[in-house]
Amino acid sequence: MIGELSKKEIKEMLDILAQTYPEAECALDHGSIYQLLVAVVLSAQTTDKSVNRVTPAFFAKYPDAESLSRAAAADEEAAVAEVSEFIRSIGMYRTKAKNVVRLAQKLTADFGGVVPQDFEKLQELPGVGRKTANVVLAVGFGENRMPVDTHVLRVSHRIGLVTEKDAGLKDALATEKALLSVIPEKRLTEAHHSLIFHGRYCCDARRPQCDTCPISKICKRHGV
């Protein structure tokens, strides 16, 4: 058995979370799948709010892969420097600027500027790992996926959806696989967003609000 919750308890928990956070969705502002991809790349180890503060001006100048790729073709170093200026207020901005420029170049050269709806091909792009690929497929293409970020990792272990025996507390891949085995496929993306919102607004890392938690009667309350 994965986790400590029965199928009935998992369904009840998912239903309650969905009702509690009906607005739960991707918090990154974007106007296209390409912009979503870039925003997720920029969000690594940075808050979504911080990313949303820098992307409007950046996307106004470079709304798609082709426009940024053209700038890089003229002078890649200058393009990276310019992107760095747009995003300098977020963490690891220099590395992210290089990745975004090279991502645009590869998208343009290999995929005609179109973000591929393919898990493996997405991960060939600079700065794109498993979580980012899952987010793009879930939010951009409507697939049911379970991206595991810090909220999902912490909350899923704390409430008993998975246990340390199933997956290490810091093992995102093992946690993803464990969650895939207990959450119905048609509810994966919904559950992903619900767990993130629950982690942000109730099940805080340091001070979980157990007294007012809507799933307190089901939660196994691990000190994760």
Q: What span, in angstroms and rounded, lies between the C-alpha atoms of 5 and 1?
A: 9
121 is catalytic: no
- Catalytic residue, candidates 29, 48, 149, 171: 149
Is there a contact between 217 and 211 (Cβ–Cβ < 8 Å)? no
131 is catalytic: yes
- Catalytic residue, candidates 64, 96, 98, 131: 131
Long-range contacts of 4-13 (CB under 8 A, 24+ apart): 4/160, 4/163, 4/220, 5/159, 5/160, 5/161, 5/182, 5/218, 5/220, 7/182, 9/218, 10/161, 10/182, 10/183, 12/218, 13/159, 13/161, 13/215, 13/218, 13/219
Which residues are the active-site residues?
131, 149
